[in-house]
Copies of this chain bind each other. A is one copy, B any other.
């Protein structure tokens, strides 16, 4: 079998098949993937990572597609990470979007990867961050991460991006606004897609007034609200331009360093959490007796948690827990 360092060289030589193979290791979180990431990590840091999020039906896949096309036309190398909300149960078979994405990959020189959201706490943002690193080392200059905009895990994924765009759409009702609240505080650009629909003027006005009220403390960057009709590729030029301007702003203001720092910190924590979880799941950690004691009401959950933490610590001392 090929050594990680050799696959790494193929990846930095911009071999997309090698990148695909590397990403499979990354997703499995295996030792090969770990070694590959360690080898390539010094080559990262060049990419502009753009997170795009929005409710189902907002047309965010279509928007990402149009933005990728636009970026290619400007001679950027582009990667897309589409976070697939399907579970192993459904295996993504009902996701028409993913098929449309593959058309794009064939049509343009865009590298597309779909990631499943299945699995453990912290698993998704870990896989996304590692995948971003690999694409970055492979020379992708712009990496789009597309995900649905609700849930803490999705918010965590967006925290791995330099620039976050939220896609809104007219006519989906009041609930929609509430859904996005969790992501509002980290959005840098608002897009109102399907802007030919009734109500788009109103949603643009609402967003602008909300931003006026809330966006203090955002020193320097004025969050734009931009209309688009992604399916007709209308408005996507100015959106990509705003994204690039935001990246320039981050660099110029020193905020890019601040964001990178936050991203790394979040990532370290999720790596450690994952390690703890794996250890607790492993047979030898034996939390089953604690579970039984909680079920029998002999221990409350926190007392049992304290005991489990103690055992994991002993395991660690004995070399049983590793990242």
Residues of B close to A305: CB separation below 8 A? 268, 271-272, 275, 323
| A283 CB-CB contact with B under 8 Å | no
Min CB distance A120 to B, Å, is 9
This protein's copies in its complex: 2
Beta-carbon contact of B57 and A172 below 8 Å: yes
Complex Cα–Cα for A313 and B275 (A)? 12
| A64 CB-CB contact with B under 8 Å | no
Min CB distance A118 to B, Å, is 8
Beta-carbon contact of A85 and B150 below 8 Å: yes
Residues of B close to A92: CB separation below 8 A? 181
Complex Cα–Cα for A291 and B268 (A)? 8
Interface of A, secondary structure class, is: helix
- When C-beta atoms are compared, the residue in chain B nearest to A304 turns out to be B268
| A15 CB-CB contact with B under 8 Å | no
| A226 CB-CB contact with B under 8 Å | no
Residues of B close to A129: CB separation below 8 A? 301
Contact pick for A156, options B84, B121, B321, CB 8 Å: B121
| B-contact 0/1 string along A92-123, CB 8 Å cutoff | 10111100000000000000000001100111
Complex Cα–Cα for A204 and B150 (A)? 25
Answer whether A181 and B272 are a contact pair too, CB < 8 Å, given A154-B151, A301-B267, A306-B323: no
Complex Cα–Cα for A151 and B179 (A)? 11
Residues of B close to A276: CB separation below 8 A? 269, 272-273, 276, 309
Residues of B close to A57: CB separation below 8 A? 172-173, 175-176
Residues of B close to A41: CB separation below 8 A? 297, 300-301
- When C-beta atoms are compared, the residue in chain B nearest to A33 turns out to be B302
Interface residues of A in 291-317 (CB under 8 A from B): 291-292, 294-295, 297, 300-306, 308-310, 312-313, 316-317
| A212 CB-CB contact with B under 8 Å | no
Beta-carbon contact of A178 and B302 below 8 Å: no
Residues of B close to A253: CB separation below 8 A? none
Contact pick for A302, options B182, B271, B317, CB 8 Å: B271
Min CB distance A51 to B, Å, is 15
Answer whether A175 and B97 are a contact pair too, CB < 8 Å, given A85-B181, A305-B323: yes
- When C-beta atoms are compared, the residue in chain B nearest to A317 turns out to be B313
Contact pick for A179, options B56, B275, B291, B323, CB 8 Å: B56
| A265 CB-CB contact with B under 8 Å | yes
| B-contact 0/1 string along A241-282, CB 8 Å cutoff | 000000000000000010011001101111111011100110
Contact pick for A172, options B56, B87, B323, CB 8 Å: B56
Name 9 A/B residue pairs within 8 A (Cβ), A-sorted. A37-B302, A90-B185, A94-B178, A95-B178, A97-B178, A151-B151, A269-B276, A275-B305, A306-B322
9 closest cross-chain pairs (CB), A and B: A151-B151, A271-B305, A56-B175, A152-B153, A41-B300, A86-B181, A89-B185, A313-B316, A305-B323
